[in-house]
Amino acid sequence: MTPATPQFLYFDLGNVLLHFDPVRLSRQISARSQVDAQRIRQVLFETDLYERYEHGRINSVEFHARFLDSTGASIDYDTFQSAACDVFERIDASLRLVEKLRAAGHRLGILSNTNEGHWRFITERYPEVAQFELFALSYRLGTMKPQRAIYDAARNMAGVDAARVFFVDDRQENVDGALAAGLDAVMFVDTPQLERDLLARGVNWDNSAA
């Protein structure tokens, strides 16, 4: 059965629009703090610290302070933020597709697990990302993919039926969560595959600017 033509298109951010490199994050903080990169990965990703940050339960200042408490590092706030945030690169093909979709009049949003620091950095470094209509961001909504609540919030923000909301993500569990919430969701493989997925749903951008 062919899915209904969507009325709103949501994109994940990391590894769909921008490459995200968590290994680079750990290495950069390590280089500037003299804390072993493995220890940094343990503190950030093997405890609930990073998850709390992306849930919006702590802000950037608190995140830095808790990192210092956990590692004994002496890295200052601005240096820490720079090392932790400069970990993205454009996926040019995806950003070009987004611009064509926007020019063709499609409604577009970002649905992403992200944190305050990353979002501030991204909107300053990549202004094209800030030009979407809606931003369903975990740290603002207090819920993360693949939890049902974030998809419901995103649908409510778009103001259309769940079945008419399209979502693309690079992680299968997040796609599965969106499908369970009634959204039409696909796994991101590469931009040509995403274009085929959109065309199969009647989403066109023929009259858009290159």
Question: What's the Cα-to-Cα distance from 153 to each of 22, 105, 168, 180, rounded to whole Å?
Answer: 27, 23, 16, 14
Contacts of 60 (CB under 8 A, 6+ apart): 53, 77, 81, 115, 116, 117, 120
Has this prediction a pTM greater than 0.85? yes
Which stretches of the chain score pLDDT less than 50?
208-210
Predicted confidence at residue 4, as pLDDT, reads 86
Letter for the amino acid at 181?
A: A
Helix, strand, coil shares, percent, the chain, to 5: 55, 15, 35
Selection from 180, 195, 174 nearest residue 106 by Cα? 195
Domains of the chain, earliest start first: 8-19+89-200 (3.40.50.1000), 22-85 (1.10.150.240)
DSSP H or E segment with residue 95: helix 92-103
